[in-house]
Amino acid sequence: MRVGRVDDADAGNEVVGGGLIGPVATGTGMGNWNMRVKILQGDITTRSVDAIVNAANSTLLGGGGVDGAIHRAAGPRLLAACQELRATDLPYGLAPGAAVSTPGFDLAARWIIHTVGPNHHAGQTNKALLVSCFSESLRIADSLGAASVAFPAIGGGVYGWTGHQVAEAARTALDGFMASHPGTSVELVEFVLFHPELEADFNASLEELR
């Protein structure tokens, strides 16, 4: 696994702590050793990756934060697709920790993987559900054959988890995913952080994988 921090995402320069790091032989002997992890600052809706992950709510019918930004950027066909999911497979909505995919519509990304973080503010404090958001999204990315997937800081906004908690959940999920999906199609995982202060948390947690 390679962990990088990218100041200019499209320049492809990976910088950690002021230094450039190349491929790093890491892991426990299991998992996809070629998977790269990047930590970026910016707007996830602009990422040219195969799949972006949406921090949705259980209704799947849109909201604020990154969910609202994704719906605006993907266009009205996204809401129609979500309404179709609600009318068919998900009549009761999507449970916290679960994930489901739709096309990306007007986005550069081919797919959107929607997941629902536990609402810490509302008393949903089970960290395993937050880990599950990342794990299930990775599992769906793999089942779609996606090579690249971008995550926001799921649960780190309106739902009230700290940056450290979100980053640790992401790390736990990545660890488990690499061990359980050694031949995965997923080669690149990006964490696209809207707020620069989250970068330190993600750098610290993901560095531990090296």
Active-site annotation, residues:
67
Q: What is the 3-state secondary structure (H, E, C) of 84-109?
A: HHHHCCCCCCCCCCCEEEEECCCCCC
Sign of CA dihedral 42, 178, 97, 161: negative
Nearest partner of 37 among 192, 200, 196, judged by Cα: 192
Kindly report the number of other CB atoms within 10 A of residue 121's CB atom: 11
Interface contacts to ligand AR6, rule CB under 6 A: 43-45, 55-57, 63-67, 69, 117, 152-159, 192, 194-195
Give the integer Cα–Cα distance in Å for 48 and 10: 9
The least distance separating ligand AR6 from the CB of residue 45, rounded to whole angstroms, comes to: 5
The least distance separating ligand AR6 from the CB of residue 139, rounded to whole angstroms, comes to: 19
Nearest residue (CB) to ligand AR6, 63 versus 103: 63
The least distance separating ligand AR6 from the CB of residue 138, rounded to whole angstroms, comes to: 17
